[in-house]
Amino acid sequence: MSTRDAQAERTRRDLLRVARELFVERGYARVGTEEIVARAGLTRGALYHHFPDKQALFAAVHEQLEQELVAGIAATISEVADPVERLEAGIRSFLDACTDRQWTRITLLDAPTVLGWATWRETDQRYGLGLVSAALAQAMDSGALIRQPVRPLAHIMIGALGEAALLIANAEDPDVARAEVEPILMLLVRSLRS
């Protein structure tokens, strides 16, 4: 990588880091591009070189958070041998993310409005659906879960997880809400056992 490419990558990383901090602190609507570049110590030209507008910058921050979430869940479940326990560990890891203010503020509270529901859902499906589908298919292939069509079941699981996430994100006490939804989601998984 050339020095120029390395500098461009550093600039992009700085913009994403600062934008993420500000979007979490005050929400997308209350943050201006001037404030982002000032805090990053950059120019507006640097911002617009990497992102056409604030919404594109937000989309990149959102994408980064989704990637981090999936990587964290994948790392957690890779350590679990039993396919049903792997599915349960993935759900617990997801619920942990739901109590993270950064993730909930950007991904659950601002993203549907900023990106539009269809784009937000597509991103959510792109990251979450594959992981859930794979975990369900592995559990069915092992004989641990009743065999049934994976695609509709994965969509239903994603729906349940999404509603749990929103419940936690909007709760007065996210930790209490998380503690309430976990046993219910585990009961759903156990009801699929063969």
Distance of CA 132 to the CA centre of its chain: 13
Q: What is residue 151's predicted lDDT score, i.e. its pLDDT?
A: 95
In which band, very low, low, confident or very high, does the pLDDT at 150 lie, cut at 50, 70 and 90?
very high
Mean pLDDT is lowest, of 55-64, 120-129, 164-173, for: 120-129
- Distance in angstroms (rounded) separating the CA atoms of residues 101 and 2: 37
Q: What is residue 194's predicted lDDT score, i.e. its pLDDT?
A: 82
Sequence ranges of the domains in the chain: 1-51, 55-190
- Fold adopted by 55-190: Tetracycline Repressor; domain 2 (1.10.357)
Supply φ then ψ for residue 173, to 5 degrees.
Answer: -125, 95
In which band, very low, low, confident or very high, does the pLDDT at 1 lie, cut at 50, 70 and 90?
low
In which band, very low, low, confident or very high, does the pLDDT at 124 lie, cut at 50, 70 and 90?
confident
Query: Which architecture characterizes domain 1-51 according to CATH?
Result: Orthogonal Bundle (1.10)
The Cβ of residue 86 has, within 10 Å, a number of other Cβ atoms equal to 21
Terminal alpha carbon distance of the chain: 52
User: Which one-letter amino acid corresponds to residue 148?
Assistant: Q
| Closest C-alpha to 124, from 106, 100, 150 | 106
Residues 54/60, Cβ–Cβ less than 8 Å: no
Residues 83/150, Cβ–Cβ less than 8 Å: no
- Give the model confidence (pLDDT) of 16-31 as tens digits: 999 999 999 999 999 9
- Distance in angstroms (rounded) separating the CA atoms of residues 79 and 121: 29
Mean pLDDT of the chain: 93
Q: What is the DSSP letter of 30?
A: G
Instruction: Mark residue 88 as left, alpha or beta (left: phi above 0; alpha: psi -120 to 50; beta: remaining).
Output: alpha
Q: What is residue 6's predicted lDDT score, i.e. its pLDDT?
A: 78
In which band, very low, low, confident or very high, does the pLDDT at 101 lie, cut at 50, 70 and 90?
confident
